[in-house]
A and B are shown apart, each in its own frame.
Chain A
Amino acid sequence: MTRPTNRYGFGKAFRDFFIASKEEQNGVKGRIGGLRHYIDKLKPSFSEGGRFPWLHSTFEAFETFAFSPNRVTAKGCHVRDAIDLKRAMIMVVVALMPALLFGMWNIGYQTSLHAADWPFQLGTSASWWYCLWFGFLRMLPLLAVSYLVGLTIEFAFAQIRHHQVNEGFLVTGFIIPMIVPVTTPLWQLALAVAFAVIIGKEVFGGTGMNFLNPALVARAFLFFAYPTRMSGDQVWIAADRWGTDAITSATPLAELAAGTSPTASVLDLLIGTIPGSTCETSVIAIALGAILLLVTGIASWRIMLSVVLGGGLMGLLFNAIGANAYMQLPFYYHYLMGGFLFGAVFMATDPVTAAQTNIGKWIYGFLIGLFAVLLRVVNPAYPEGMMLSILLMNCFAPLIDHCVVARNIKRRQKRAIVKQKATTR
């Protein structure tokens, strides 16, 4: 193995380290990248008969994280695509970034409005950066706990069941801290994540087999198990560091449920400078993520559009009835408040739990939007209907698909019979 010492730049070194050439994949001895070489050297210890066969799936998870697998399906035809499950999931995480960054800043911003001794003068750029930094420090433990607990359970199950470690949790573990109040105690978050991964996913067979969105299962667990920590007006502001335990600040939805009108202006709602679950407040940040998901084709535009349509229609219907102040609220407010758009973009579109057929996606999305607004307006016990609405339609997605497929079969059968009659005549 000779390597020209000159002309060996960083780019080439990078390529050697991370990307194995075609001959190497086929087993022909050639230049082998450092990491590839290292992984290949380790491989026998983790295979059958090696020293750690029980760690096989853990090993594979890390291997396929760095390299695309070089095995191909032996039987049947399959479509090769540059994007696989792992890359698709990473794309969703990238799409979540604007909402996360804004959410972190908003944690700091909301606190700065209420904290008695905020170290910087409000409105200055120093204060702006400190908001982001403060939010980052608050968000980091939540993210760390979510990933640590969830991935530990995922890896453990993969080992026990001799599965591969699936990538689904990359997104789930990322979303869970984003849709809970920033003041959620870490042990409760850990419990919720464990519940979601085990009861929401692993009992059904792991990634791809679950019929409920695991991130929403975690949120629902927290919502029903520790209601005082998940709603009300004392949980949205991370003020405990500033000496006071609970600064009250109601979300627009809570204000409406209490019978008053929201204090935040439409512009505030659009930008997202309102109290709420960490990353659901900013319409603009979520829209950026939505654009990425739509351009890359990872999320279904049918679902997003139909959720928006369903919510809008229900809002308009309530406007027409107009029996109380909440019903008279302009319908577009429903998009701007709470987790409606976050749910529509990132949670309703989960490819595993959503309807699979195109017509099914329209029905599924439409009913999610409809039920979300219905629950918000009619049931004051649940100020936010999006979570329950998506979980409900998750349950019905297989039924919707079944009906769509059965209808299609029936229609085509009819057509075939007509054709047959025409030819026999």
Chain B
Amino acid sequence: MNAKKLLIEPLRKTNPVTVLVLGICSCLAVTAKLKPALVMGASVTVVTAFSNLIISLLRKGIPSRIRIIVQLVVVATLVILIDQFLKAFAYDVSKQLSVYVGLIITNCIIMGRLEAFALSHGPGESFLDGLGNGLGYSLILVIVAFFRELLGSGTLLGYPIFPQSFYEAGYQNNGLMILPPMALIVVGIIIWIQRSRHPEMQENNQK
């Protein structure tokens, strides 16, 4: 498999969120604002890429019966590193993300890639695959957070987008966008658009 394909495919046709429907929980939790979504996406990308790399390097030495524990140890180590890094250098975002940084350990995408890819591929390929899947996850997170922050709070990265005259003319921010159900609906709409653009992704519907 070539490197470009490994990196690009998870952004599109094997996207972990919209196609495999993994990592939905954090997608609901951290996408009310764009900034936490960006940080979360970056954190998950780093963890996926490096855990894939490390597990791939160790794959020949891990006994199959305890592989999940080994994987968890590696992932947990990386997550704690990320958590400490965020606390040191981006304290306010780290506070916003609260438990969700720690919960990266339970993100299905990471374990999924370790099991499905890293255990059977070389370190270089595994690293790219982890990077690609992390970026695919981040892409959806950023799209969802973009619309939720724009329509829900009228800001992007904290900067107001709509001029004051809009609000004076009667425009109101959409409070529903702030609530978690809307994240699910936005993800649903993205899946809808993606599937209608790629007919090969639709199951055969008997007609």
Q: Do A and B come from one complex?
A: yes
Chain A residues within 8 Å of B192, by CB: 203
Given the complex of chains A and B, what is the CA–CA distance between A227 and B173 in angstroms?
11
Cβ-defined contact, B188 with A226, below 8 A? no
Binary A-proximity of B168-206 (CB < 8 A = 1, otherwise 0): 001010111101000001001000100000000000000
Q: State in angstroms the CA–CA spacing of A221 and B151 once bound together.
A: 14
- Residues A226 and B179 in contact in the complex (CB < 8 Å), given A199-B185, A203-B188, A203-B192: no
How close is B136's CB to chain A, nearest CB, in angstroms? Answer: 23
By beta carbon, the residue of chain B nearest A222 is: B176
Q: What is the distance, in angstroms, from B187's C-beta to the closest C-beta of chain A?
A: 12
* Pairwise interchain contact B172-A226, C-beta atoms closer than 8 A: yes
Tell me the dominant secondary structure on chain B's binding face: helix
Given the known inter-chain contacts A203-B188, A203-B192, please indicate yes or no for A225 contacting B170, CB distance below 8 A: no
Contacts of A225 in B (CB 8 A): 174-177
Interface footprint category on A: 10 to 19
Q: How far is it, in angstroms, between the C-alpha of A226 and the C-alpha of B178 when the chains are bound? A: 12
B151 to chain A: closest residue by CB:
A225
A224 within 8 A of B: yes
Q: How far is the CA of A188 from the CA of B170 in the complex (A)?
A: 10
B172 near A224 with CB under 8 A, answer no
Kindly list chain B residues whose C-beta atoms are within 8 Å of the C-beta of A9: none
**What is the 8 Å Cβ interface bit string for chain B, positions 75-117, against chain A (1 contact, 0 not)?**
0000000000000000000000000000000000000000000
Minimum CB–CB distance for B126 against chain A, Å: 37
Q: Mark A219-235, 1 if CB is under 8 A from B, else 0.
A: 00100111111000000
Tell me whether A185 is interfacial, beta carbon within 8 Å.
yes
Roughly how many angstroms separate A191 CA and B151 CA in the complex, as a whole number?
12
Please, which residue of chain B has its CB at the minimum distance from the CB of A186? B170
Contacts of B179 in A (CB 8 A): 224
Can you name the residue of chain A whose Cβ is closest to the Cβ of B176?
Answer: A225
User: What A residues does B175 contact at CB under 8 A?
Assistant: 224-227
CA distance A229 to B175 in the complex (A): 11
In the complex, what residues of A have CB within 8 A of residue B174's CB? 191, 225-226
Least CB distance from A200 to B in Å reads: 11
Residues of A within 8 A of B170 (CB): 185, 187
Residues of B within 8 A of A203 (CB): 188, 192
Task: Give the residue name and chain of the A residue nearest to B171 (CB).
Answer: A187
Q: What is the bound-complex CA distance between A203 and B174, given in angstroms?
A: 21
Residue in chain B with minimal CB distance to A226: B172
Min CB gap B192→A, angstroms: 7
Contacts of A187 in B (CB 8 A): 170
A–B complex contacts, Cβ < 8 Å, 14 sampled:
A187-B170, A188-B172, A199-B185, A203-B188, A224-B175, A224-B179, A225-B174, A225-B175, A225-B177, A226-B172, A226-B175, A227-B175, A228-B172, A229-B172
Residues of chain B touching chain A, judged by Cβ–Cβ distance below 8 Å, are 170, 172, 174-177, 179, 185, 188, 192
Which residues of A come within 8 Å of B, CB atoms? 185, 187-188, 191, 199, 203, 221, 224-229
A-B CB proximity, top 10 nearest: A225-B176, A224-B176, A225-B174, A225-B175, A226-B172, A185-B170, A227-B175, A224-B175, A199-B185, A221-B176
A225-B174, A229-B172 given. 11 additional CB < 8 A pairs?
A187-B170, A191-B174, A203-B192, A221-B176, A224-B175, A224-B176, A224-B179, A225-B175, A225-B176, A225-B177, A227-B175
